[in-house]
Structure 1
Amino acid sequence: MYGFDGFRGAMMAGSRMRNGVLAVLLASAVGISAVPLPSFAQGYRFSSVTIEGNQRIEPRTILGHARIARGDALSAADLNDAYQRLVNSGLFESVSLTPRGGTLVIAVKEYPTINVVNFEGNRRLKTEDLQKLIESRSRRVYSPATAEADAAQIAEAYSVTGRMAARVEPRIIRRSDNRVDLVFEIAEGRVVEVERLSFVGNRAFTDRRLRQVLQTKQAGLLRQLISSDTYVAERIDVDRQLLKDFYLSRGYIDFQVQDASAEMARERDGFFVTFTVREGLQYKFGQTRVISEVEGVNADDYASLLRLRPGSIYTPSDVEAVTARMEALASRKGINFLRVEPRIKRNDAQQILDIDFALVRGERIFVERIDIEGNTTTMDQVIRRQFRTVEGDPLNPREIREAAERIRALGYFENANVEAVEGTSTEGVIVKATVQEKPTGSLSFGASYGKADGVGFMVGLSESNFLGRGQFVSLDLNLGASDATSSFTFSEPALLGRDLKFTFSGLYAQTEANYASWDSRLVQGGIALEFPLSQTARLETRYTLNKSRIFNVSTGGTDADGNPILASSPILQREELRGSLWGSAVGYTLSLDNRRGGLAGRTAYVFRFSQDVYGVGGDLKFLRSEVFAGTQTSILNGDVRLRAEFEAGAIATSGSSGTRASERFFLDSKIRGFEPFGIGPRDTGAGRNDPLGGNYYAVARMEADFPVGLPEEYGIRGGVFFDVGSVWGLNDTAGATGTVDDKLRLRSSVGVALLWDTPLGPLRFNFAKALKKQTYDKEQRFDLTISTKF
C-alpha cells in the first residue's frame, strides 16, 4: 500500500479498455462518495493513492509511469492518459483504477516471469539456432508482443529455407509464483520449390542455357537433395544481375531484365518463376586506338597492349583487361595519377563499338591510411598484404577494387567490402576494409570408387587460415583396396611478407600388386618456394628427398602345395635386388594460367613445364622432365564445351644405374580404353605379362561435352572423346631379349561419356573402344569414377 497527501490520480480499465469506460468508472465513484456526478470537463483531486497487486515492481515505478503531479487538478483526459501510459509500459497483464471517495486505487496484475523457453516441432532448424533469433529469454518478464515478434522471426527463418508455409504459435504454460513456460509450437511445412524457371523475350539463348547461369535451379529428379531449387526471394535479385552479366559478356550491351515474377502454385507447394528480358542487338569490337591527353606520355608506348581484334564479340572483361594492362604499365614507368578512360562510340548500323582508350590525368589523391575492421581471428597483415597500395601512395581506384576481389578470394570471410572514404584532407582518402569472418577449418570423410582401384575411403583434416596467419595445414589419409597413402602439407603464402609461397610436405605411400606384378613403398619429404613472374605466370623451385623400394617380385619356384609359381620378369627381379634407394632432387615448375587475375575470357589455357634433377646426393641419378598444355573454350552459345590437352614426359639417365619401375611412366587413365598399366613395354616371355613402364610418354586428348536433352537441373551431360599416345623406352632389357617391346608404338581410342554432377560428387561413365593397340595391351571398355566428400 502506498499513499500521500495532496494527490496523484488514475482510472480503472482492462487490458483493452476504451476511453468510453472512463464514464462508467466515474459513475461508480459517484455511488461510493455519494456526491453528484460532475461533467467530464470538471477537475478531480484525490487525497491519497493506493496501489495493489504489485509483486516485483516498486510503487514508485508505477506512479512514475502514471505521471500525476502532487496536488494537480486532473481532467478526464489526464486520467485517460495516465491509464494509457500504464498499459503501454509493457509491465502489466491488466490494469484497473477504482476511485473510492478521496482515494484512488490502482490495481495491477504483473506479467509473469519466463521460466524456460522451449521449441516444439522443429526438425530442420536446430534449437540453438532458433534461440539466437528471439528476444524472449528465461528469467525475463514475459511480453505477448515480444513473443509474437519472436514467432514472426522464426517463421522468417523458415521462409529463407524455402518453407513458406511454416507456422509458429507462441503458447504459455502457467507455473507457480507467477511464472510461465514459453513454448513456440512450430509446424514446419514442406519446402516450397521452384517448379518451373522460364524466360520471355529470349531469342539468342535457349531457356536451358539461361537456367545454367542462375543460382536458382528448377526442381528435378534430385529435389530431395538439392537446396538450390528452393525458392528464396533474395536469390532472384542475384539472378537478375547474373543474367545481365551473362548477356553483357556476349556483346548485348542494351540487355535488360524487365521483370522477374514469382507466382505461387494453387496448392502453395511451389513457385513458377518467370524472367522477362529484352536482349537487344549483339555488338562487336570495331576500331580501337590509344590517345594521350597527358603531356609527355606517348600513346604509342601503350598501343601494343590493345590486343582487341576487330570483329570479335564485345565483352566488358576484355576492355577491363586492356585498361588494367595500360595502368600497370604507367605505374611501372613511374607515372602517377594516370588513368585510362575507355570511350565507346556506337555504330548501330553495323553493330560495332569503336573504342578510344584515353590516357588522362586523374585526381591528385593519396591513400592516407588503410583501416581494417571485423577481423577477430585473422591478423591485419593477412588482409593488408592483399593491397598493392600502401599509405602515402597515389590512389588507384582499380587497385582498390582488385584488392577487394583478392580478399574475397582468400575464402576466409562471409563478406568483404573495401571502400575509399573521405580523409582528413581534400587530397587524402581512407581505405576501409570491412570483413565478416567464417569458419575455415574442415574435417571431411569421403569415399571414392574406380574400376581400377576399387572402393577407397578418405579422412581429411585441414585449416586454411591457421592461427589467423593465412597459413594452410592439412593432414590426409586414404585407404584403398590395394594402396594406402597419408600426407601432410604446410603452406605459408607470404613468406617474409612478400608474394613468396613456402610449402613443406610429407608423403607415405604403399601399393600392392593389382594390375602390376610388384609392390612398392615410398617415403618422401620436400620443401618448395613459389613466386610470380607476371600476372599469369608463376615459378616454383623445390627440393625433394625420398626413399623408395620395390618388393614382392616373384622369383618362381613352387607354392606349399607343390604348384609352380610363375617367375616375374628378370628386369623386375634385378630392380628388387637394388633394395631401398635414396632419391635427392632439385627441381622447378613454370606455370602459365590465364585464369589468374580473371583474364581468361571465353577461352582458358594452362601450361606447365617441370624438371627434377636427381643426383644431388642419394642413389638415383636422372633428369625427369614433364610438360602439360591444355585449353578449353565454349561454342554454340556456351552449350558445348571443347577441351584439348597434351602432355609428355622424359627421363634421361646418368651412368649405368638406369631407372626402376617405381620411377618410370605408366599411363594410368591418361588414355581411356586401356587398363592402368595396360599399355607400354611389357615382358611377355615364359607365359608372363609384366608391365614395365617406360622412360618416355606422350598423350593428346580431345573432348567435347554437351547437353543431352534432360532438364539442366539434373546435372547430366554427354561427352565424346578421342585419345592418342604411347609410352616407350627402357634402359635395360637384359634377360628379356625378344620378349620386351619398348619401341614407340601409338595407341588410340574413341568413346562416349556420361557426366553426372550429383550432390554427392561428380560421376563419370566412360565407354571406350581402342582403335589402335598392340596384341599384349590390356583393354578396358567401361570405367566408372566417383569421388565424394561429405
Structure 2
Amino acid sequence: MANFLRAGAGRLLQDGIALKTIRSFTAFVLLFLTILAVEPAHAQSFRFSSVTVEGNQRIEAGTIASQAGIEAGQTLSAGELNAAAQRVRASGLFETVEVEPRGNTLVIRVVEFPTINAVAIEGNKRLKDDDLLGFIETEPRQVFSPTRVERDVVILTEAYEQSGRVAARISPKIIRRSDNRVDVIFEVFEGRPIEVKRIGFVGNKAYSDRRLRRVIDSKQAGLLRAIIARDTFVADRLEFDKQVLSDFYLSRGYVDFRVTGTNAELARERDGYFVTFNIQEGQQFRFGEITTVSEMNGVDAEDYQSVLKIKPGVVYSPTLVENSIARMERQAIRNGVDFMRVDPRITRNDRELTLDVEFVLVRGPRVFVERIDIEGNTTTLDRVIRRQFDTVEGDPFNPREIRQAAQRIRALRYFSTADVNAREGSSPDQVVVDVDVEETTTGSLSFGANFSSDAGFGVSVGFSERNFLGRGQRVSANVIVNAETANYSLSFAEPAFLGRDVEFSVRTSLLETSRNNSLFDTITGDFRPAIGFPLGESSRLNLFYNLGYSEMTDYPATGLSPILAAESAQGGEIASSIGFVYSYDTRRTGLNPNAGVLLEFGTEFAGLGGDQEFIRPSVRVIGQTRVFNEEITLRATLEAGALEFLSGNTRAVDRYTQQVIRGFDANGLGPVQNGEHLGGNYFAAAKFDAEFPIGLPDEFGISGGVFYDVGSIWGLDTTGPGVASEDFTLRHVVGFSLFWDSPFGPLRLNFSRALESEPGDVERNFDITVRTDF
C-alpha cells in the first residue's frame, strides 16, 4: 500500500499537483485504514420481563402482543424489535405503531384506524349509486383501510372506463366523526365520454370497411349519439371485436385470417379515438373430398357418411364441420354406440384452395358426468338451466355437447354472464360440470304515444317478462288505444312443456274498431292455445285451437254497398277451429352463411261447433342472399292465402283486407261495390327487394333500397250490381326505400308508385314502417 501511495504521489507531483493536496489525500487514506483496523462493536440486545400495550380501544392487548410475536424473557436485537413493529402494522388495523423499551418493559404504542360510519358517492350522474357501491369493498362498520380505499378508487375508475368515460377521476375524501369514526366519500368527476370517431381496417380486400363495421360491436359516433351508447370507446370491447372478425372470416372459408394488431389512437383534442384493425385475410378455401373412416370395431363408416350434408365445392366453415360431428354423434346414440368420438382430420391443398376433411371415428375415453353444479342463479330455477343440457348425471362426457349447452344458456338472455367449465370429479373417470351465472333484468314496462293522420292520437302500455318467476316462461300484456281502435292482448308461453322440447302457449286478444274505413264498427276476439315441437334440424310443427268471435255493426243507412249492409245485419258469429303451421328454416343450419330460406304453410279448419265452417290455407316463402361481397342484399317473398266457407257466406270482417303489397292502403285493394271496399276471399303477392349502401357515412345509419311488388286480392261468395275488381288482376308497384337505424328503432321509409291498378284502389305513395329483418 505504501509503495502504491508513493508511486501515486510521484505521478501527482509530475502532473503539477500542489503539495498541500497530497498531504490531505495521505491523511484521508491513513484515517480510512485506521477505521478498518478497529474491531466491530457488538450489536445492542434487549431482554424484557413484560410487554405492555397502550392506545388500543377496540382490539385486545393480547391480540396485539400476539401479532408482535414477542414473549417475556426473550432476548431481542434492535432489528427484531423493528420487525415486531412491522408485523403489527401489517395487520392493517392501526394508523401508527411505535415500539419503546422502558427498562425491563416493552411498550407497544398504537393508534387504531377508525371505524367507517358511512360510505357515499358524490358527483356521479351516468352511473347509479347502487351500481357503483356494489363494485367496491369499503363498507360501513368496517375498520378503515387506506389500502382498500385505494383499490376501490381503481375499481370505480375502471367501471367508468367500461362505460366509455376514460377521463373520469375518483377522489376519496375522509370526514372525521366522534368516537373514532369516519365517513368515506368517493368524489366523482365523470368527464365527457370519449367516442369512437372513426373505425378503419388495413389489409382487407374481400370485404369493404363498411361491411366489416357491421360485424363488430364497436360503432362509430353517429347522429343523436347521446341516446346511442355503443359509440363510446371501451378498450375491452376491442378484444371481442377481434373475435367476431375471426368468426366472420372463418365462416366464409378464410382459414388463414388473423388480426395482426389493433391501434386505438386518441385524437389531439382528446375528444375521440381513431380505431384501426390490421388484418390479414389470406385465401378463401372450399371443401374438397369428404370421407369417413372407422377405427372402432363393429362401427361401419358408411352408416355415418350417409348423415353428412356438406358437399365438395361448398365454402369451408368450421360450423359445418361441427354440425357434421353432431349428426354423427347423434347417429351413434341411435345405434347404441357409447364413447364414440369423431376426429376431423383436415388436409390442405394450397394449389386447388381446398380442404379435404376425413372424419375418423375413434373410441373416446370412458369418462362420465358425475354431476352438474349451478351457482349464481338467484331468480332462475335450476331446472331452467339444466334443460339446456342434453347430458345428465351418469351420461358419457362429451365436451362438444357441453360447449353447445353453454351457448344455449347464453342465448336465453337471462344472465349477464354465463360460464360453463368442466373439472375432474371424485375420480379420474368422473367430470363435474360447473355452471356459474349472474342474473340480469328480463322484464320491461313500456309507455308510448303516437299520432297518425288516419287514427289520430293514441297511447300504448305494454309489459313483457321473458323469465316469469324464474321459470323461463314468457308473459306479455299490451293495450293500444287511439281515436278509432282499442286493442288488448295477453299471452303466455312455456318453452319446455312437461320438461321436453315442446312449447305450449296461450294467446288472447280483443280488437274494437270504430267506423273502420268510415263504413262500420267491428269487434273481434280470439282465444288461441297452441303447442309446437321440432320435426327435424330445420323444421318445426305448431298445432293450435282457436275460438274466435267477430261482429260487424253500425253500417250507416246512407251506405252504398248492399253487400256490406247485409253482412253487418248478420250480427256476431263464433268460429271454433283447429289448425297447423309447418315451418322450415335454413337461416341457422344452412350451408351458406349469406343465404337462407324460410318456408311456412298451414291450414285452419273451422266447424268444431260455433257458427262458421271454413278452410283457410296459407303459404309464405322468403329467400335472401347477399352478393357483391355482401354489400347488396337481395330478398324475395311469396305469400298467398285462401278462405273457403263450407256453409254460409264470408263477411268483410272475415275476408282478407290487409296491405298485401306496398303502394296501396290496407283495405284499399280488391273487390269494391259502389266505391266501398269489401275485401276478398283470396290473396297472392310477390315482393322483391334489394338493399345497398348509398354512400352516406356509416355513422348516419342510413342505407337505401329498391323494391318491386306484384299482387292481388280477389273473390267473393256473393256479388251484385256495382261490384268491381272482383276477379284476379295483378297490381304492380315500384319504389325505393330508406333504411334508418334511428335511436327510436330501425325504421323503413317507402316511396312508391303504382304501375298497374284497378278502379277503386286506394294508393299510398309514402309510408313509414318498423323495419323487420329476415
TM-score by length of 2: 0.89
Question: 1:767 deviation in Å?
Answer: 0.4
What is the alpha-carbon distance in structure 1 between the residues aligned to residue 431 and residue 51 of structure 2? 63
What is the alpha-carbon distance in structure 1 between the residues aligned to residue 584 and residue 454 of structure 2? 32
The answer (yes or no) to whether the contact 1:554–1:568 under 8 Å persists in 2 is no
TM-score by length of 1: 0.87
Question: 1:531 deviation in Å?
Answer: 1.6
Question: 1:617 deviation in Å?
Answer: 0.6
What is the aligned-residue RMSD (CA, Å)?
2.6
The answer (yes or no) to whether the contact 1:723–1:749 under 8 Å persists in 2 is yes
**Structure 2 counterparts to residues 153-302 of structure 1, below 5 A:** 153-302=155-304
Letter in 2 for 1:677: N
Letter in 1 for 2:749: F
What is the alpha-carbon distance in structure 2 between the residues aligned to residue 50 and residue 323 of structure 1? 74
In the alignment, is residue 703 of structure 1 matched against residue 689 of structure 2?
Answer: yes
Q: Relative to structure 1, is the Cα distance of residues 149 and 364 closer, same or farther in structure 2, using a 3 angstrom cutoff?
A: closer
The answer (yes or no) to whether the contact 1:673–1:781 under 8 Å persists in 2 is yes
Question: 1:756 deviation in Å?
Answer: 0.6
What is the alpha-carbon distance in structure 2 between the residues aligned to residue 77 and residue 682 of structure 1? 107
Q: Secondary structure at the match of 1:181?
A: strand
What is the alpha-carbon distance in structure 1 between the residues aligned to residue 376 and residue 119 of structure 2? 32
In the alignment, is residue 643 of structure 1 matched against residue 635 of structure 2?
Answer: yes
CA deviation vs aligned residue, 1:675-728 (integer Å, no higher than 9, x gap): 1111101112xxxx2111000000001111111222323321111111000000
User: Which residue, out of 607, 628, 644, partners 2:620?
Assistant: 628
Q: Relative to structure 1, is the Cα distance of residues 63 and 385 closer, same or farther in structure 2, using a 3 angstrom cutoff?
A: closer
Q: Secondary structure at the match of 2:75?
A: coil
In the alignment, is residue 679 of structure 1 matched against residue 679 of structure 2?
Answer: no
Question: 1:457 deviation in Å?
Answer: 3.3
The answer (yes or no) to whether the contact 1:364–1:427 under 8 Å persists in 2 is yes
Name whichever of 395-404 and 696-705 sits farther off. Answer: 395-404
Q: Relative to structure 1, is the Cα distance of residues 76 and 387 closer, same or farther in structure 2, using a 3 angstrom cutoff?
A: closer
What is the alpha-carbon distance in structure 2 between the residues aligned to residue 300 and residue 60 of structure 1? 79
Percentage of pairs with the same residue: 52
What is the alpha-carbon distance in structure 2 between the residues aligned to residue 479 and residue 92 of structure 1? 66
The answer (yes or no) to whether the contact 1:450–1:784 under 8 Å persists in 2 is no
Name whichever of 45-54 and 389-398 sits farther off. Answer: 45-54
Name whichever of 412-421 and 151-160 sits farther off. Answer: 412-421
The answer (yes or no) to whether the contact 1:40–1:75 under 8 Å persists in 2 is no
Q: Relative to structure 1, is the Cα distance of residues 322 and 227 closer, same or farther in structure 2, using a 3 angstrom cutoff?
A: same
The answer (yes or no) to whether the contact 1:445–1:460 under 8 Å persists in 2 is yes
User: Which residue, out of 753, 768, 773, partners 1:769?
Assistant: 753
The answer (yes or no) to whether the contact 1:516–1:691 under 8 Å persists in 2 is no
Structure 1 unmatched runs, 5+: 1-37, 557-566
Question: 1:786 deviation in Å?
Answer: 4.5
Question: Counterpart in 1 of 2:653?
Answer: 662
Question: 1:268 deviation in Å?
Answer: 3.1
What is the alpha-carbon distance in structure 1 between the residues aligned to residue 92 and residue 400 of structure 2? 53
Question: 1:537 deviation in Å?
Answer: 1.2
Letter in 1 for 2:219: K
**Structure 2 counterparts to residues 298-317 of structure 1, below 5 A:** 298-317=300-319
Letter in 1 for 2:346: I
**Structure 2 counterparts to residues 20-169 of structure 1, below 5 A:** 41-45=43-47, 51-98=53-100, 106-169=108-171
Q: Relative to structure 1, is the Cα distance of residues 786 and 303 closer, same or farther in structure 2, using a 3 angstrom cutoff?
A: closer
What is the alpha-carbon distance in structure 2 between the residues aligned to residue 78 and residue 427 of structure 1? 53
In the alignment, is residue 718 of structure 1 matched against residue 704 of structure 2?
Answer: yes
Q: Relative to structure 1, is the Cα distance of residues 450 and 251 closer, same or farther in structure 2, using a 3 angstrom cutoff?
A: farther
What is the alpha-carbon distance in structure 2 between the residues aligned to residue 79 and residue 358 of structure 1? 70
Q: Secondary structure at the match of 1:237?
A: helix
Question: Counterpart in 2 of 1:28?
Answer: none
**Structure 2 counterparts to residues 268-667 of structure 1, below 5 A:** 268-425=270-427, 427-447=429-449, 456-515=458-517, 517-556=519-558, 567-595=559-587, 601-655=593-647, 657-667=648-658
Count of residue correspondences: 733
Q: Relative to structure 1, is the Cα distance of residues 131 and 407 closer, same or farther in structure 2, using a 3 angstrom cutoff?
A: closer
Structure 2 unmatched runs, 5+: 1-39
What is the alpha-carbon distance in structure 2 between the residues aligned to residue 77 and residue 593 of structure 1? 78
What is the alpha-carbon distance in structure 2 between the residues aligned to residue 87 and residue 365 of structure 1? 51
Question: 1:659 deviation in Å?
Answer: 0.7
The answer (yes or no) to whether the contact 1:94–1:109 under 8 Å persists in 2 is yes
What is the alpha-carbon distance in structure 2 between the residues aligned to residue 40 and residue 150 of structure 1? 48
Letter in 1 for 2:386: R
Letter in 2 for 1:586: I
Q: Relative to structure 1, is the Cα distance of residues 43 and 334 closer, same or farther in structure 2, using a 3 angstrom cutoff?
A: closer
Name whichever of 709-718 and 603-612 sits farther off. Answer: 709-718
The answer (yes or no) to whether the contact 1:448–1:786 under 8 Å persists in 2 is no
Question: 1:213 deviation in Å?
Answer: 1.1
Name whichever of 641-650 and 465-474 sits farther off. Answer: 465-474
The answer (yes or no) to whether the contact 1:447–1:787 under 8 Å persists in 2 is no
Q: Relative to structure 1, is the Cα distance of residues 369 and 651 closer, same or farther in structure 2, using a 3 angstrom cutoff?
A: same
Q: Relative to structure 1, is the Cα distance of residues 184 and 745 closer, same or farther in structure 2, using a 3 angstrom cutoff?
A: same
Question: Counterpart in 2 of 1:780?
Answer: 764
Question: 1:239 deviation in Å?
Answer: 0.9
The answer (yes or no) to whether the contact 2:516–2:522 under 8 Å persists in 1 is no
Question: 1:546 deviation in Å?
Answer: 1.6
Q: Relative to structure 1, is the Cα distance of residues 392 and 145 closer, same or farther in structure 2, using a 3 angstrom cutoff?
A: closer
What is the alpha-carbon distance in structure 1 between the residues aligned to residue 415 and residue 511 of structure 2? 35
What is the alpha-carbon distance in structure 2 between the residues aligned to residue 693 and residue 264 of structure 1? 61
CA deviation vs aligned residue, 1:231-278 (integer Å, no higher than 9, x gap): 212111111111111111111111111112222233333222221111
What is the alpha-carbon distance in structure 2 between the residues aligned to residue 55 and residue 406 of structure 1? 56
The answer (yes or no) to whether the contact 1:451–1:785 under 8 Å persists in 2 is no
What is the alpha-carbon distance in structure 2 between the residues aligned to residue 67 and residue 432 of structure 1? 43
In the alignment, is residue 731 of structure 1 matched against residue 723 of structure 2?
Answer: no
Question: 1:581 deviation in Å?
Answer: 1.0
Question: 1:627 deviation in Å?
Answer: 0.7
Question: 1:650 deviation in Å?
Answer: 0.4
Letter in 2 for 1:763: L
